[in-house]
Amino acid sequence: MGDHNNKMERYNGEFRDREKVARGLKKEDSPLINGYQIYHNYVRPHMALDGKTPSEACGIIIEGDNKWMTLIQNANKPT
């Protein structure tokens, strides 16, 4: 339980740091909030996960050199 809490506290701390310099972040519909969640879960490697992203640790692999571009291109594909 403590390990999970540490991860959430780190995420919240990083988000608060970003919030201090981002305009319009107080709005609930801000795209920055969703973008930061995507970055944190799919793009940014974590030392605690041996350099994997949380998605990779769960078996969700984003292919390509530019994970952001891959995510955007896949989001645009019809299902």
Q: In this structure, what token pair is assigned to residue 54?
A: 């949380």
HSE (CB half, 13 Å, CA atoms) of 47? 1
pLDDT digits (tens, 9 = 90+) for 1-31: 455 667 667 666 676 666 565 655 566 666 7
Give the closest residue to 44 by CA, choosing from 7, 6, 2. Answer: 7
Higher pLDDT, 6 or 42: 42
Using CA atoms, how far apart are residues 40 and 68, in angstroms rounded to an integer?
11
Domain count, the chain: 1
Res 2: pLDDT: 52
Domain extent for 32: 2-76
Residue 58 has pLDDT above 90, yes or no: yes
pLDDT at 52: 93
pLDDT tens digits for 67-79?
Answer: 999 988 888 777 6
Distance CA 5, CA 28 (A): 24
